[in-house]
Structure 1
Amino acid sequence: MTVGDWSTLLSGIIYGSECSSMESTQDNGNLANVRHIILVMSGKGGVGKSTLSTQIALALRHAGKRVGILDVDLCGPSIPRMLNAVGKEVHQCDSGWVPVYVDQEKTISLMSIGFLLDGQDDAVVWRGPKKNAMINQFINDVAWGELDFLIVDTPPGTSDEHISTVQALRPFKPMGAVMVTTPQAVAVGDVRRELTFCKKTGLAVIGIVENMSGFVCPYCSECSNIFSKGGGEELAKYAGVPFLGCVPIDPLLSKSAEEGKDFIQEFPNSAAYPALTSIAKLILEKAALTI
C-alpha cells in the first residue's frame, strides 16, 4: 500500500469549509501556527508514553491552552481510545486532513492512524518506507490550525520512525522531548539510549518523567515501591537534564484511560493528579522561556 492508497480508506471524507479558518498564511504550511512541539519518547515499550501524552495534553488544556496530539505510533495507536475518540471520521479540506476534535470547545485535536483503519483490530503490516511516508504525511498534511502545543506520541525505539519524525519536524524547531521511563534498571538503560539518539539528532531534552513510580493504596494512601525507585531521577542527574517528576501507579488513571475519561477533571484528589499537573506546569514554564 502506498500513501496514495489511503484514498480507499478515506471514502467517508467530507470536503467543505470546516478548515477555512485554518488556512496558513506562512511559508511553513500546516504547522505555521503551532507555537510549541513536544515529542514524548522512550527507548522501551510499555512505560506509558501514550498515557503521559494524553494526560499532559489534558493538563495543558485545563491550563487554558489549545493542544493537538499527533499519534505516530503506527502499529499501536492507543490514544483515540484514551480520549474516547474511537470511530471518529477524518475529514478533508483544501489544506489537507482536518484532525479529530475530542471536545466540543475544540481545544484538543488528534490525528492517529487509528482513524484511517477499517477496524480496531486491523494491523499495520508495513516496512519502513511506508511508515516513513505516512509519518511525513501526518506532519505536513494535517491542518492543525492555531495551537499552543502539539504533543507527538512516538513508538518505542530509535530507528526509522524516530528519524523520520525528527527530520520532518526539524524545520519547525520543536521545543524538545519528554523522556518517559519506569524505575527499573532495564527501562532506564533503554531510555539512556534514547537520550543518545536525541544528542545525535540535535533534539533538545525537556526532561525525564519516572512513570509507575510506586503504588499508592487508595484506602490508606501508603506508597509501596512495587518496582525499584529513583531510576529516572538518577538518570536525569547522569544526563544533566531536568527531572520532571514521578507519576505513581494509580487505578483511577488506568480506569480513565480505559474508558476515555478526562482524568485531570474527574479525579483532582487522586494520587497521580499533583504529579501530572506539576509536569504540565514545568512544561509551561519551559515554553515561556523559549518564546
Structure 2
Amino acid sequence: MTNGVKHIIAVSSGKGGVGKSTVTANLALAMAALGQRVGVLDADIYGPSQAQMFAVPETSKPRSDDGQTFDPLQAHGIQLMSMAFLVDQKTPMIWRGPMASGAFQQLLNQTRWDNLDYLFIDMPPGTGDIQLTMAQKVKVSGAVIVTTPQDIALLDAKRGIEMFRQVKIPVLGVVENMSLHTCSQCGHSEPIFGEGGGERIAQEYQTELLGQLPLSLHIRQQMDQGHPVVLSEPQGQVAAVFAAIAQQVRDKVENAPEEETVQISFGD
C-alpha cells in the first residue's frame, strides 16, 4: 500500500478531451463531502490540469523538508500533487515514456500523503507507459472509465477497460460525460454526441453506468476558473450526479473481496 493512502482509484479514458480531469476533480470533492479524507494525483505528466481546476496559484510549490519528499498542496480540503507544482506551467515535458513513468512514481511515492481514505489518480489518456507502471507498481482498488457517447470515444474506452482487466484492476464502472446538451435559451435538449453509448459499453463489459453528465458551457467555465461545480452549485443537478457516483465508488471499494485488489507484478 502506498504510504498514507488506504484506497487508490484510477480515473481513466482511452482518449483525451472527454472530461476525465473534470470528473476527477468533482468526484474527489464529492467523496470528501461523504466525510472521507481525499487526495488527487495529477498523473498526466505532459498536460497537467488539476492545478488550474483547483485554482492553485502558479507560484505555489510543495514544501520539502528533506529534499527527497514533498508535502501535498491543499485546496478545498483536498490534498493535491501535480507536475505543475514542480515546473513552470508553460514548460513542456519533452520526455520519453520511461522518464514520464519515473516522474509518476516519484509524484506518487515521494509525496507525504496525510492519512488518505481515497487517492484519485487523474490518468493520462491512452494505455501507455504510465498505465503499465501503475499496474506493476501500485495497489489499485479500482478504475473509473470516463467516456463520451460517440463511437470513437467508446472504442477507446473499450481499450481502456480491456487494459485494466488484463492487469487485474477492477473496473468500478463508466461515467458518460457530455451525454446531453440543453439550450440555455430555449430549453431544448439534444444528444449532440449520440446517446446510450455509456450504457451499451457497461452492459458489454458487465460493469455499471455510474452516472451521466451533461454537456454544459457553465461547467466548462466554472472549471476553467477553478470553481468545480460540486462546490459552486452544491445543490444542483450535476453535483447530485457526482454525489451518487462517489457513493457508488465508495460502496464498491468498501465491499470488494480482498482478492480483487491484489497487486499484480509483471517484472521490470
Structure-1-length-normalised TM-score: 0.83
Query: In the aligned structure 2, how far is the partner of 1:70 from the partner of 1:268?
Result: 23
Instruction: Tell whether the 8 Å contact from 1:198 to 1:204 is kept in structure 2 after alignment.
Output: yes
Question: 1:267 corresponds to which residue?
Answer: 233
Q: Matches of residues 174-213 of structure 1 in structure 2 within 5 Å?
A: 174-213=140-179
Structure 1 counterpart of 2:183: 217
Of 63, 79, 95 in structure 2, the residue corresponding to residue 91 of structure 1 is 63
- 1:246 match: 212
Q: What code does the residue aligned with 1:102 have?
A: A
The whole-number CA distance in structure 1 between the counterparts of 2:231 and 2:13 is: 27
In the alignment, structure 1 residue 126 sits paired with structure 2 residue 95 = yes
2: CA distance between counterparts of 1:255 and 1:270?
A: 16
In structure 2, the residue matched to 1:102 is 75
Shift of 1:220: 5.4
* Structure 1 match to 2:20: 49
Match in the other structure for 1:15: none
User: Matches of 1:268 and 1:33 in 2, distance apart?
Assistant: 29
- Cα separation, 1, equivalents of 2:163 and 2:216: 31
Aligned-residue CA RMSD (Å): 1.7
Residue type of the alignment partner of 2:71: V
* Contact 1:213 1:248 survives alignment (8 Å): yes
Could you give the per-residue CA deviations for residues 80-110 of structure 1, whole angstroms, max 9, x where no partner exists?
000001321111135711111113xxx3111
The amino acid that maps onto 1:55 is N
Higher mean C-alpha deviation, range 80-89 or range 212-221: 212-221
Q: Check whether the contact 2:3–2:112 (CA below 8 A) recurs between aligned residues.
A: no
Q: Which amino acid aligns with 2:48?
A: P
* SS of aligned partner of 1:145: coil
Letter in 2 for 1:144: W
2:4 paired with 1:33:
yes
User: 2:179 aligns to what SS in structure 1?
Assistant: strand
- In the other structure, the counterpart of 1:72 is 43
Cα distance, 1:242 vs structure 2: 1.4
Unaligned runs of 5+ in 2: 259-268
1:147 aligns with 2:116: yes
Change (3 A) 1:219 1:285: farther
The reply to whether residue 236 of structure 1 matches residue 202 of structure 2 is yes
**1:268 CA displacement:** 3.3
Letter in 2 for 1:136: Q
Aligned residue type for 2:110: D
1:127-167 CA-to-partner distances (Å, cap 9, x unmatched) read: 11211111111121110020111000011111111111222
User: Residues 34-57 of structure 1: CA distance to partner in whole angstroms, max 9, x if unpaired?
Assistant: 121100011111011100000001
Note if contact 1:180-1:209 (Cα within 8 Å) is conserved in structure 2: yes
SS of alignment partner, residue 255 of structure 2: helix
Alpha-carbon offset, residue 32 of structure 1: 3.2
Report 1 or 2 for greater relative contact order, CA contacts < 8 Å, sequence distance ≥ 6.
2
Q: Deviations over 1:211-252 (max 9, x none)?
A: 010112345554211110111110000011111011111222
Name the SS for the 1:97 alignment partner: coil
Q: Which amino acid aligns with 1:189?
A: L
- Superposition TM-score, scaled by structure 2 size: 0.90
Count of residues in correspondence between the two structures: 255
Contact 1:217 1:223 in 2 (8 A): yes
CA distance in 2, matches of 1:42, 1:262: 20
Residue equivalent to 1:112: 82
Partner of 2:262: none
In structure 2, what is the Cα distance between the partners aligned to 1:250 and 1:269? 17
The unaligned stretches of length 5 or more in structure 1 are 1-27
Q: Is the Cα–Cα contact under 8 Å of residues 82 and 260 in structure 1 kept in the other structure?
A: yes
How far, CA to CA, are the matches of 1:276 and 1:141 in structure 2? 30
What residue identity is the alignment partner of 2:126?
G
Structure 2 CA distance for aligned equivalents of residues 55 and 222 of structure 1: 26
What SS does the aligned partner of 2:214 have? strand
Moved more, 268-277 or 36-45: 268-277
TM superposition shift of 1:75 = 0.7
